[in-house]
Structure 1
Amino acid sequence: VFNYEWQYTLSCICYHNVCHPFSGRYTDAMQSPRQCRLSNIFTTICLHIVVQDVGALIFWRWSLRNRWLLHYLVKITGMLTAASNPWEQCFLKVFLTSHLIGGTAEGEPCLFPFLFLGKEYSDCTTEGRGDGRLWCATTYDYDRDKRWGFCEKQRRKAEEAEEIYQKAVKILSGTSKKSQKKEVYEKLMKAAGMGHSKALEKVAYAMLFGDYMTQNIPQAKDLFEKLALEGSPKAQTALGFLYAAGLGVNSSQAKALVYYTFGALGGNLVAHMILGYRYWGGVGVPQSCESALTHYRLVANHVASDVSLMGGSAVQRVRLLEEMENPGSTSGMLEEDLIQYYQFLAEKGDVQAQVGLGQLHLHGGRGVEQNHERAYEYFNQAANAGNTHAMAFLGKMYSEGSEFVPQNNETALQYFKKAADLGNPVGQSGLGMAYLYGRGVPVNYELALKYFQKAAEQGWVDGQLQLGTMYYNGIGVKRDYKQALKYFNLASQAGHILAFYNLAQMHATGTGVMRSCHTAVELFKNVCERGRWSERLMMAYSRFKEGDSNSAVVQYLLLAEQGYEVAQSNVAFILDQKQATIFSENETYPRALLHWNRAAAQGYTVARIKLGDYHFYGRGTDVDYETAVIHYRLASEQQHSAQAMFNLGYMHEKGLGIKQDIHLAKRFYDMAAEASPDAQVPVFLALCKLGLLYSLQYLQDVSVRDIMSQVDLDQLLGPEWDLYLMTVIALLLGTVIAYRQRQHQAIPRPAPAQRAPAEQPQQQ
């Protein structure tokens, strides 16, 4: 292990023919350029560099603080000049390469870096070759010397790593077992160790999130830095995220923006999405709707192109705060007991249960993993029982094809026709698609239009979407943007991703509507948030439910950077509850405040109220009643929040951050009671207290001014006298309710009336 000593002011490394023992005094070695040295820190013996060929290039590859950088030293007038920025302490590692096969320099070693077509390469490359074989040069300037050969050892190693990687990816996409996924990541580690960059990317992200590996953010950072230097857009985006979130590094929005920009230039869609959100919200950059539109539209184009007839997996957006406050409320997730109950019904022949379970397994979500094999089984059972919906969905599965169900237009057509003939809108829409694109039948726009209209009339979203597409493009009908807009709007109300995409395109270009950049960005953002990366929402939720808040918060943080409002509020909630230990205690509230602010900017009412609370209590910021009033007022006026109205009433009552006004306090309390039934009891108690205060004020002003002016309730009853009063009122209210219930139970019920003899049925 060699210690590399170099002052920032020095620009060279010099060598001596005689190597003196290292004194151990670092300052002695820094007196002049001729005292720069490389020393072995264990044996205190200086590394002796001997150069025989004056003017020759000597190449060294350095490992600097886990960053793989290439340096070369040039022999110039007795000095060796380094072509990189100086570091105080680094570690030297010399890389050896095997001898080349074939080419013009067989048997010679590679020389890195080498110059090819004006670009430097620090490893064997396939550039310039159509057969994919790895090669390198044996002199620096290949363009001049044409000295090269094949890196056969590296090629075989690369092929083996690629084979391991492909097998691992295939298993990952086809299994849901955690134990099996852990084994897969061990294989990915092996491929990564063999230099496979994509495997290394997956390993680095797994370490970052704690996905089937022990979470290790510092090590993930080192891997991302290595990959970023090799030009990996995914790694550049990840480094941007680390600097933005301050994970493993000091937070720097400037560095984050640089890395995000490089990632986007490399084609990384997540980086484009992050930049789109930043320009849309003015996060670290000047707000620019047009710049946001550019980034979001690019991502939306890719997301829309991946949408299939069956659709992707369904993703629930669970709000952790609401789930905690309302444990009985539905979060969209199905309990295991309920799923087992439906399975029991399906096994007993319940057709509706079979169709429902088929749809759940077809799309996934709500706690059920996507499983086309199970979906096919349930649909097949229901179809055999004559259910048209099941027939139509079997048609969809055969039309698209999957790993389990082979693509077959003829079989799909048969199922669609059976369902359509019985009036099923899903079958009618599928039959329309067959005629529109000629799947198993000749193209016939007239019949396609007919079946889409039938499906749309029954409210089926695919029929509405395809009708809009035909009117938009003028396929089989006269082009009519007004009709297209109508049907796209109808389909968007049901949440169809392509309907949002088409509406976004119309607003972005001003086609059939007035151009609106703001509307287009919001619609494109909606499309982007339905991309494959949205599945991480469920992964983060699962980790949180398993008790791994650190993994959950990091995953939510990345999604928050991408602009997911639900992720921003979930990050803020986890930090607010101090459940994540990767941040110090004094960081949690300021970070939570930041994410409540971003979620509130996207219209989340609870986040806006939380901002008011943070300024009211001084969490993550100084106590600021005036700012708290602003946030409560925004939540009250824009989202009609009962909680915000109640808080404004209290602040008017107390005169906190606003002029004390009992009349306005009563008005806000009344508004809160009208806005939400849940607010009626707290409002009643507050109004009782307010009534007493008003009476005291009235007596003070009118009847016994002199006496009451001497009464200080704070001094008499303590600063919390209003809480005592509310407690007394609550007890009185409870007593009244209990008394009335007891009275009601004590009232004897009337005996059933006896029929009069005349009303008795006659006996025959």
Structure 2
Amino acid sequence: MDSKQISKLLFTLLILLIIECRAQIQPEVPNGMSQMEEESTEGDAKEIASQEEEEAHPRYFERSFVDSETIETEDKAMLYRDFPGAAEKTVQMDLEVLEEAEDSLEEVEQQIKKMSEADIVFQEAVALLNKVDDKKSVRKAYALFQQAWKMNHTEAGGIIAMAHVFGIHFKQNLKYSQELFVNLSATGEPRAQAGLALMLSLGIAGYNRSLAKSLVYYTFGALGENPLAMMAMAYKNWQGIGVPQSCEGALVWYRRVADRVAEDVTLGSPVITRVRLQDQFENPNFFSTLFDQDLIQYFQFIADKGDTKAQIGLGQLHYQGGRGVTVDYKTAYTYFQHAADKSNNPNAQAYLGRMYMEDNSFSKKNYDLAFKYFKDAAHQSNAMGQAGLGQLYLNGYGVKKSYTEALKNFKLAADQGNVDGQLNLGVMYFRGLGMPKDNKKAVKYFNLASQNGHTLAFYYLAQMQESGLGMLRSCHVAVELYKNVAERGKWSEMFMTAHEAYMGGKKDEAFMIYATLAEMGYEVAISNVAFMLEHSETAIIDGSELSRTALMYWERSAAQGYTQARVKVGDYHYYGLGTEANFEEAVSHYRQASDQLQNPQAMFNLAYMHELGLGMKQDIHLAKRYYDLAAETSKDAYIPVFLALVKLAFLYGWEPFYNENTKEQYQMYFTLEYWFGPSWDIYLITILVGVLSALIFVIMNRRQR
């Protein structure tokens, strides 16, 4: 609704208010009026009786409704005739009301104009922010958000406040963000409510940690459709954090977020790399998951020389992003164009078809060109080209809609393992497009597409699990599938922002981004928060709370199946970090990590505790068994296990001599009486004299020579 429509609506409301006021205004009546009423009292009874008789008639309400305006006009005319001053006073009051209404209308119009200008600036900023391959546009977008906030645009204010929390394009300032969150939350701004909930949950910016209060603000933010708040509510319901564990409650919130993510899925959705700091710390070669700039430059060099494979590889890398490379549609298009024009490469043609089928920051939709490139690729039996043709026929984009042609092309693509062909075949069977519905076949193709990581495949499987279509209903599985979809939203791009900040030495900024993602239920982010707290890499959390808070996050990470986190929880109970030392509790966590997750470190720890009898009965045989299992599970454990087994063998050999139950019977073997009898001292003296004599003889012979 634009400002003109709003103005018209407000003007109409004011006119209605004026009419209502005039209906309620009663002119002053002279004192003689009461005398007239007394004189007419005698006729009141007859009038009431006749009125009751008239009201009983079935046509009364219809007549009264139709003639209401006529009756009111006649009453006013009679009143003005009997009391001439009343008419003038009524007109004067009407004019005063109209003047006040005009003043109010001018104020409202000014506010609407100001709000409209702020909204225009805000929408321009949002459009720039969606250009994910243009960093200059992102910086300009935040400058426009700042401008819109100065014009009192509340949503822009929420974005600015969050930017100060993360230290994105602004210096990190939690106190300033907290003040903005408080003011904006009072106006009902969902992002501000979610931000305030985050601070209360972490216990930062002057707040004590309060899970109950944070849940209140998360609830309001979720009702306002804020993704952070909705995912936080879903995660807390799923894990039972601060609320009773409820699969159905989690299902509702995750579904709402997944619906939004599914609407925004494109063929070229960016690939997000979620870096786990614990793995990076333990593995020196971790950065093999990120592209080395020297390697990219090498590929660029050979691509410029005309190498088709290098051109397609670089095109894909810039088209989808990931592994430390940002999306750049212009560069991707250039590489694909070279490969398609000079080498007639079907993969390059298919990618160009994709780019023309969907809007991006470089090329606009052009279904005719998309059809051309897809057709050229499909004629060379390219699966991506066949799937692209199928989508054009399925939706009638640039061609006449044909389910038959769509089905044929999707089957050809799916038979070659193409994920888009598999997904769209599933959709056709699921919705019964050009064929009877077949939920079992739909499940088959959705499963195939999900194995290749297609977001929409997880989304459709979640819908079918939730409804029990083609399978038994499972709330737990549906929640996990919806969660998988929800975690692929645009906000997951913050992972790379956080890692860049971490590697750049901005540890507090990285911590706040990871903490926000952790509140949304991202397991990798949860473990990263725990890692940073364990290594005291942030000053945001009070030093006395680091170990206790780290333990809490390790427990949350372990609850989502991260085996190393389960071992960490055991370590914290073993050493008494953030809690009292408890060997039995440590054994419980190590056993879970060992038996259920096959973690070699947990097996080694259990072996050690069996060896020393910590938290359990001492058992050298079980200790050896767990040492052997650790070596079999991981090659890296071979050397420490070998050393531990050498030590264990030595202890096993000497066990009879120090074991309380057997050492007495073995002590006799260490007495001289057992070996030489009661006269052992005579034998010993004789031996010593003989040795001494032999030494004297040897020394004397050497001197004579």
Indicate if the aligned counterparts of 1:126 and 1:134 stay in contact, CA closer than 8 A.
Answer: no
Amino acid corresponding to residue 566 of structure 1 in structure 2: V
Matches of 2:202 and 2:283, distance apart in 1: 30
The residue that corresponds to 1:149 in the other structure is 105
Deviation per residue, 1:133-163 (Å, 9 max, x gap): 89999xx999867833222543454344344
- Determine if the alignment matches structure 1 residue 353 to structure 2 residue 310: yes
**Would the aligned equivalents of 1:136 and 1:150 in 2 still touch at CA under 8 Å?**
no
Which residue number corresponds to residue 449 of structure 1? Answer: 407
In structure 2, the partner of 1:212 is 169
- Post-superposition shift, 1:166? 3.9
Alignment-mate amino acid for residue 639 of structure 1: L
Contact 2:657–2:666, Cα closer than 8 Å, also in 1: no
- Unpaired runs of at least 5, structure 2: 22-96, 671-705
Report percent identity of matched pairs: 49
- Residue 674 and residue 132 in structure 1: after superposition, are their counterparts in 2 closer, same or farther (change >3 A)? farther
Asked if structure 2 preserves the Cα contact closer than 8 Å seen for 1:700 and 1:706, the reply is no
User: For 2:417, what is the secondary structure of its paired residue?
Assistant: coil
Partner of 1:343: 300
Distance 1:393 1:217, change over 3 A: same
Residue 503 in structure 1 maps to residue 461 in structure 2? yes
Uncovered stretches (5+) of structure 1, i.e. residues with no partner: 1-124, 712-764
Deviation, 1:171, is 4.0
Is 1:389 the equivalent of 2:323? no
Decide whether the 8 Å contact of 1:429 with 1:452 is kept in 2: yes
| C-alpha spacing 1:404/1:611, structure 2 compared with 1 (3 Å) | same
Distance in 2 (CA, whole Å) between partners of 1:160 and 1:318 is 41
Report whether the alignment pairs 1:129 with 2:6.
Answer: yes
Quick one: which amino acid aligns to residue 259 of structure 1? Y
* 8 A Cα contact 1:435 1:442, kept in partner: yes
2:453 pairs with 1:576: no
Q: 1:166/1:195 Cα in 2 relative to 1: closer, same or farther (>3 Å)?
A: same
Counterpart residue identity of residue 467, structure 1: L
Q: Select 2:390's aligned residue among 406, 424, 432.
A: 432
Instruction: Map 1:231-630 to 2 at 5 A.
Output: 231-248=188-205, 249-308=207-266, 310-330=267-287, 332-384=289-341, 385-630=343-588
Q: Whole-Å Cα distance in 1 between the matches of residues 505 and 668 of structure 2?
A: 57
The aligned counterpart of 2:675 is none
Higher-helix-fraction structure: 2
Residue 708 and residue 169 in structure 1: after superposition, are their counterparts in 2 closer, same or farther (change >3 A)? farther
Question: 1:193 & 1:583 partners in 2: Cα distance?
Answer: 31
Deviation at 1:330, TM superposition (A): 4.6
C-alpha deviation, 1:387, in angstroms: 1.1
1:196 equivalent in structure 2: 153
Q: Distance in 2 between matches of 1:349 and 1:580?
A: 48
What CA deviation, in whole Å up to 9, does each residue of 1:380-407 have, x standing for no partner? 0111212100100100111113231121
Distance in 1 (alpha carbons) for counterparts of 2:11 and 2:290 = 50
Q: Which amino acid aligns with 2:272?
A: V
Q: 1:479 to 1:166 in 2, by over 3 A?
A: closer
Contact 2:272 2:493 in 1 (8 A): yes
Tell me, in whole angstroms, the C-alpha distance in 2 between the residues paired with 1:142 and 1:676: 85
Residue 691 of structure 1 pairs with residue 691 of structure 2:
no
Aligned residue runs from structure 1 range 683-762, under 5 A:
683-700=641-658, 705=664
Change (3 A) 1:709 1:198: farther
Check the 8 A contact 1:273/1:562 in 2, yes or no.
yes
After superposition, give the CA deviation of every residue in 1:195-249 in whole Å (9 maximum; x if it has no partner).
Answer: 1212211210111111111111111011011111111111111111111111211
User: With structure 1 as the length reference, what TM-score do the two structures score?
Assistant: 0.73
Q: Does 1:637 align with 2:595?
A: yes
How far does residue 349 in structure 1 lie from its aligned partner after superposition? Answer: 1.1
SS at 1:149 equivalent: helix
CA distance in 2, matches of 1:444, 1:183: 44
| 8 Å contact kept, 1:126–1:135 | no
Decide whether aligned partners of structure 1 residues 129 and 181 sit closer, same or farther in structure 2, where only a CA change above 3 A counts. closer
CA contact (8 A) 2:185 2:193 kept: yes
CA distance, structure 2, for counterparts of residue 709 and residue 553 of structure 1: 65
Say which of 614, 619, 622 aligns to 1:664.
622
Aligned to 1:673, the other structure's residue is in SS state helix
Amino acid at match of 1:234: R
- Of 215, 223, 233, 2:180 maps to 223
Give the drift of 1:132: 8.6
8 Å contact from structure 1 (residues 700, 709) kept in 2? no
User: Of Structure 1 and Structure 2, which has the larger fraction of its residues in strand?
Assistant: 1
Distance 1:412 1:180 in 2: 27
Larger Rg computed on CA atoms = 2
User: Structure with the greater relative contact order (CA < 8 A, sep ≥ 6): 1 or 2?
Assistant: 2
Contact 2:155 2:189 in 1 (8 A): no
Distance 1:135 1:337 in 2: 68
Judged with a 3 Å threshold, the aligned counterparts in structure 2 of structure 1 residues 166 and 693 are, in CA distance, closer, same or farther, namely same
The farther-off stretch of 147-156 and 351-360 is 147-156
* 1:176 CA displacement: 6.4
Give the distance between the partners of 2:514 and 2:667, measured in 1 at CA: 57
| Secondary structure of residue in 2 paired with 1:129 | helix
Deviation string 1:30-51 (CA, Å, 9 cap, x unpaired) is xxxxxxxxxxxxxxxxxxxxxx
Q: Give, in whole Å, the separation in 2 of the partners of 1:534 and 1:710.
A: 71
Residue-by-residue CA offset, 1:512-544 (whole Å, 9 max, x unaligned)? 100000000000000000011111111111111
CA-CA distance at 1:129 after TM superposition? 2.6
Structure-to-structure mapping, 1:37-186, within 5 angstroms: 129=6, 147=101, 148-151=104-107, 152-174=109-131, 185-186=142-143
Amino acid at match of 2:187: E
- Corresponding residue for residue 48 of structure 1: none
Q: 2: distance between equivalents of 1:409 and 1:381?
A: 21
SS at match of 1:403: coil
Residues 1:307 and 1:697: Cα distance change in structure 2 (over 3 Å): same
Please tell me whether the aligned partners of residues 131 and 138 of structure 2 are also in contact (alpha carbons under 8 angstroms): no
**Per the alignment, do residues 683 and 154 of structure 1 end up closer, same or farther by CA in structure 2, a change over 3 Å counting?**
same
Q: Deviating runs (4+, > 6 A) in structure 1?
A: 125-128, 132-137, 140-143, 175-180, 706-711
Kindly provide the CA deviation profile for residues 24-72 of structure 1, in whole angstroms up to 9, marking residues without a partner as x: xxxxxxxxxxxxxxxxxxxxxxxxxxxxxxxxxxxxxxxxxxxxxxxxx
Post-superposition Cα deviations, 1:441-473, rounded to whole Å, max 9, x if no partner, equal: 211111111111111111010001111111111
Q: Between 390-399 and 242-251, report the one with greater CA deviation.
A: 242-251
Amino acid at match of 2:599: S
What amino acid is aligned across from residue 181 of structure 2 in structure 1? F
What is the CA deviation profile of residues 594-623 of structure 1, one whole-angstrom value per residue up to 9, with x for unaligned ones? 110000000000000000111111111111
Kindly indicate whether the alpha-carbon contact (under 8 Å) linking 1:553 and 1:571 is maintained by their aligned counterparts in 2: yes
Residue 741 of structure 1 corresponds to none
Distance in 1 of aligned mates of 2:263 and 2:166:
28
TM-score, length-normalised on structure 2? 0.79
Alpha-carbon offset, residue 361 of structure 1? 1.2
The structure-2 alpha-carbon separation of the partners of 1:190 and 1:245, relative to structure 1 and needing over 3 Å to count, comes to: same
Specify which of 608, 614, 620 is matched with residue 650 of structure 1. Answer: 608
| Cα deviation code 1:579-638 (max 9, x no counterpart) | 101122111111111110000000000000000111111111111111111110000011
CA, structure 1 residues 331+552, in 2 after alignment: closer, same or farther (shift >3 Å)?
A: farther
Secondary structure of residue in 2 paired with 1:414: helix
Q: State the 1:169 CA deviation.
A: 3.8
Shift of 1:332: 2.8
Using a 3 Å threshold, how does the CA distance of structure 1 residues 189 and 402 change in structure 2: closer, same or farther? Answer: closer
